[in-house]
Every structure is written in C-alpha cells, then in structure tokens.
Amino acid sequence: MAANEFEEHAKRWRVAPGSKVHLDRIDTRSKDGAPGDKLVTGTVVKDLVTQLGEWQTRLWAEGSRSVLMVLQAMDAGGKDGTIRKVFTGVNPQGVRVASFKAPTPEELSHDFLWRIHQQAPGHGELGVFNRSHYEDVLIVRVNELVPEPVWRARYEHIRNFEELLTASGTTVVKFFLHISPEEQAERLQARLDDPTKRWKFEAADLDVRKNWDAYQRAFEDALGETSTHDAPWYVIPADRKWYRNWAVLQVLLATMARIDPQFPPEQEGLEGLTVD
C-alpha cells in the first residue's frame, strides 16, 4: 500500500487540533475502511506487521530520530492486546515499552512529568507508553486528587512537553482505544470467569467503571486540548479487536512513511572486499 493510502486511512480517526470531541458520537464497533471481514482483515494485518518491522529496522539503523506511541483507554480497552499484536514483527532491541502505574513516593516528590521523561525513547528507538502522562489529567481529575486549577494547567504543560520531544527528534503519535461500556463489561467478566486471566482483574476496576461518564468527559477534554499538528490524537474504534489492530497499524505506517527513516550510507571501500 502506498504511503498516501495509509495517510488517507489515518485521517478518519485523527482529532483535529482545537476541536471538541464527542465520544458518544463515535461508533466503537465501526468497520469503516476495513479491507473486509475479520478473516480478510486479519490476513492484511499480517502484511502490515511485516511492513512495520521493516520501517522499525530503518529507524533503528538510522539512529538519529525516534517515535513515541502513547496508548490510553478505559480498563480492558485493549492496550496490552494492541502492543502484543501490532509489534510482533519488530526487533525487541529497538523497542522500549513503559507501563505507568500509580506513582511511587519518589515520583510524587517530583513534577508529574519527571517519571515520564525518563522513559522517552532514545535515538533509533520506537517507544510505547502503556498509559502515560495523561493519567494526570484523567484519574486525578475524576478522583479529585488535585484541585481543578492544577490538573487544568497540565494541558499546557503536556503540550509543551510533547513539543520539546518533537523538537528533539521524537515523533509523537497518540491513540485512544475507544470501547463501549457493554464491551468493557464482557471483557471484565471474561477475566473473572477464566482463572488464567484473573490476575488482570482488580476489584477497583468496578469502582472505576461506576465513573464511566466522568472518565468519558475527562478523555474528551484531554483529546481536544492536547491533539496538535505534531502530536495528534487518534480515536480508534476498539470493540472489534481485529479492526483495532488494523487501524493502529494504518496510523503507525502513515507515521513511519511520513518521517521516512533511511539506512545510513555504507562505509567507503567495501566494494570488492571478500570474507575469507
């Protein structure tokens, strides 16, 4: 698929800078643009995974720029599954995945971006944030952990932080995996019903679920306030896992094609050499 075709697909999920986001108007079960049904799209995804691996090799070899993928979602939204499926074809030594849980006492003794900046990808790396600095305008808002003037000011801090990363050679691309409350209920129940998946479940997940509407409003504001030209948000319909994987790959491949990392020039004098 040509680079402009990836970009055309990506546009349908991109949040325009300064726009007002209405998550209840976005179909979480959408199949818009998919090449076919689950089976057909799954076959296409395998090829896209290979292409992403090829681009990541170029990024690693070039060694002068990086890409940061930010993943946010409600509980059971598919962050882990996306990482597992989308990155099956990449070279692990060139990928850095960071998961952000509740901050430690040491982290709380610094500004909210301190622990985040330490995990930003270095030159040549593809970084993945499983949750991120956005928790500090989501959970802290819903649970009223800090006053409103504090979390509201963080929108500007986040925009400035991502602008700094961009200026330093990191391309930032952000995904909100958008699921319905019905789909979340099914996934949480599946975790409870399967002993091998109960490790993923916490009783606190049910308390978070009770605040669904509050979290949706918090996500809407965060998406609208922090989607910029250089660090855009994409709202990915994620009830259908196969569609989610295909959509995320479209955006990542559009991003890679846009920055177009290149293999470094070969060392002079290699022509004619042989290995004995």
What CA–CA distance (Å, rounded) separates 172 from 166? 7
Check whether 1 has a pLDDT greater than 80.
no
User: What are the extents of the domains in the chain?
Assistant: 3-259
Query: What are the tokens at 95?
Result: 């990928």
What CATH number is given for 3-259 in this structure?
3.40.50.300
pTM: 0.95
Mean pLDDT for 193-199 is 92
Whether 131 contacts 177, CB under 8 Å: no
d(CA 203, CA 207): 7
Question: Tokens 């250089």, residue?
Answer: 230
Whole-angstrom distance, CA of residue 45 vs CA of residue 49? 6
β strands within the chain, DSSP E: 66-73, 95-99, 126-130, 170-178, 233-237
- What pLDDT digit, counting tens, does each position of 146-170 carry? 999 999 999 999 999 999 999 999 9
pLDDT in tens, 77-101: 999 999 999 999 999 999 999 999 9
Closest C-alpha to 230, from 72, 5, 79, 14 = 14
